[in-house]
Amino acid sequence: MSIPAIPLSDDRQIGRDEVGVQRSIRYAGFWIRVLAFVLDTLILTVIGMLLLVIAVVFVATTQYLSGAAAPDFSSLDGFSRFAPSIIDLIYYVYFPASRWQATPGKRICRIYIIRVDGGRVTAWLALGRLLAYLVSALPLFLGYFMIGWTKQKTALHDLICGTRVVYGRL
């Protein structure tokens, strides 16, 4: 259980972590979070392309071995539509709820997702946060731009789920 944070004048706070050590909390701003999002998008694109190549090779090989004259890739239509959503779901729920406390893009930027009380994000909370991204996108992505306007650099999905994005782990 952490002790509530004490606000400082420069958008940082002093709080205590699980073992009672006093720490300064620095909230991650808009541009570092944009960079983390771009990195996550690149990583997810590479993963998606690799899985698609594997699926194409698998379909072509199985059809070739079954004696088909030319490969028919229509069976990959459903895969190419739903696989990215499933991969995103796993990625954005697993990593923040894991020991990493962040997606790989956020880890590269050295920012982490925590609960308001300083605790770790659970898988259910990470799922809720992922779904709340949709709310942040409406209307005109204003929920994301809130990061630049709020004292603790919170997006709308952070406010909804009671999370914060900070530099360093707590």
- For 64-101, letters b (16+ CB in 10 Å) and e give eeeeeeeeeeeeeeebeeebbeeebeebbbebbbeeeb
H or E segment at 46?
Answer: helix 30-65
What is the reported pLDDT for 18? 52
Q: Is residue 150 part of a domain?
A: yes
Domain assignment present for 1: no
Q: What is the pLDDT of residue 133?
A: 92
Backbone phi, psi, residue 107, to 5°: -60, -45
Give the pLDDT score at 91. Answer: 96
Strands 111-115 and 163-167: antiparallel
pLDDT (0 to 100) of residue 15: 54
Q: Domain range for residue 53? A: 6-167
- Asked, for residue 21, whether it belongs to a domain, the answer is yes
pLDDT reported for residue 13: 54
Residue 53 lies in a domain: yes
The per-residue pLDDT for 93 is: 96
62 within some domain: yes
Does 98 map to a domain? yes
Instruction: Count structural domains, the chain.
Output: 1
HEC string of 53-111 equals: HHHHHHHHHHHHHCCCCCCCHHHHHHHHHHHHHHHHHHHHHHHHHCCCCCCHHHHHCCE
Burial of 9 (0-12, 13-18, 19+ CB in 10 A): exposed
Going residue by residue through the chain (170 aa), what tens digit of pLDDT does each one get? Answer: 444 554 444 454 545 555 555 567 899 999 999 999 999 999 999 999 999 899 888 888 887 887 777 777 777 777 778 888 899 999 999 999 999 999 999 999 999 999 998 889 999 999 999 999 999 998 899 989 999 999 999 999 999 999 999 998 76
Kindly state whether residue 55 falls inside one of the protein's structural domains.
yes
Domain membership of residue 88 (yes or no) is yes
pLDDT computed for residue 161 by the predictor:
94
Quote the CA–CA distance of 121 and 136 in Å, as a whole number. Answer: 19
Across-strand partners of 165? 113
User: Who's near 100: CB < 8 A, 6+ residues apart?
Assistant: 107
Predicted model pTM:
0.77
